Amino acid sequence: MTTANRKVRAAAVQIAPDMESADGTLAKVCEAIANAARQGAELVVFPETFVPYYPYFSFVRPPFAAGPEHLLLYERAVVVPGPVTDAVSAAARSHGVVVVLGVNERDHGSLYNTQLVFDANGELVLKRRKITPTYHERMIWGQGDGSGLKVVDTAVGRLGALACWEHYNPLARYALMAQHEEIHCAQFPGSMVGQIFADQMEVTIRHHALESGCFVVNATGWLTDEQILSITPDPKIQKALRGGCCTAIVSPEGNLLAEPLRSGEGILIADLDMALVTKRKRMMDSVGHYARPELLSLMIDDRPTSPMSTLFPQSAPVVPAGVPMTTVATFPSSANESSASVRSVHANAIEA
């Protein structure tokens, strides 16, 4: 739990991806980890789906014209585990830092908006997928499940993460709050929609810090003018790929611990005094003394989903040869149920 004398130095990274090379983006990640570590950072947070890049094309191109870019994203997407996770794990371990990285994850024929948390020893301690892609993103990514709504113990404390507009889902946020997160890592794409996106983002992350009684470290991406031009040559559409950046670090009292990065590349660093978690929760612990679970509570299905379940598992009872039997299968009540229960009835064992 929180101790009064514990402090954590956190870094939120706002940099542009390499739109031409997934390896180039990975190199920028490893370089930023080293740079932040040289400044004493113990936690380094990157933007949403930063590797290889956020699918900005899907926001400004109609679906029928986005096929080539979508297929290219498949080619460059990250397999977990794989070479990308190996490289980031090695960087985290080498510098002794906790890393939160957003990637486009490829799982066979589908892509997912995935958040990866590497502990300071390099171990991948959390892989979670955005539960509901937003608007245009639904043409790009599949849906995650409740198994990723987890808070994990790391070298810097109890850490949770959500991506972008998941922060507008109060139940998703409450799932992490109920697990007593101390540091919340938020990720947004940046370089989209305009100033209104940045303004709304700031309100959202500051509110979560107050409501959860935790620190929020938020990282947004950035696009250069050249990159925007490569996505669309239309000056009117280019306006939709500017603004929307608010890389920030917020205290449990809702205060900005440093001036947010609203444009350009950079690394925002702040020291988190973990005593502020208790100071805030003494006044308002929304999952403790300020909660009313007998009136309001959250039910979550945190089982991993699967497209297939086994009707007759290997653990089904074995009936001796020659004994007549009838098998009655109880099918799953939902697609999430991992297996069916099977009941065997011997036809000649009917009791009077």
What are the beta bridge partners of residue 107?
Answer: 110
What phi and psi values does residue 268 have, to the nearest 5 degrees?
A: -95, 130
Q: Give the three-state DSSP class for 340.
A: coil
CA torsion angle 81 13 163 134 (round to 10): -110
- Asked if residue 219 lies in contact with residue 248, where contact means CB atoms within 8 angstroms, the answer is no
Which alpha helices (DSSP H) does 105-240 contain, by range?
Answer: 170-177, 195-212, 225-231, 235-238
Residues in the chain: 352
- What's the token pair of residue 105? 């994850």
Consecutive H or E run containing 43: strand 43-45
The burial of 75, by beta-carbon neighbours within 10 Å (0-12 exposed, 13-18 middle, 19 or more buried), is given as exposed
Consecutive H or E run containing 283: helix 275-283
- What's the token pair of residue 193? 């929609």
Other beta carbons within 10 Å of 109: 7
Residues marked as catalytic: 48, 130, 164
Fill in the amino acid letter for 124: L
Q: What is the crossing angle of helices 22-38 and 83-95, to 10°?
A: 10
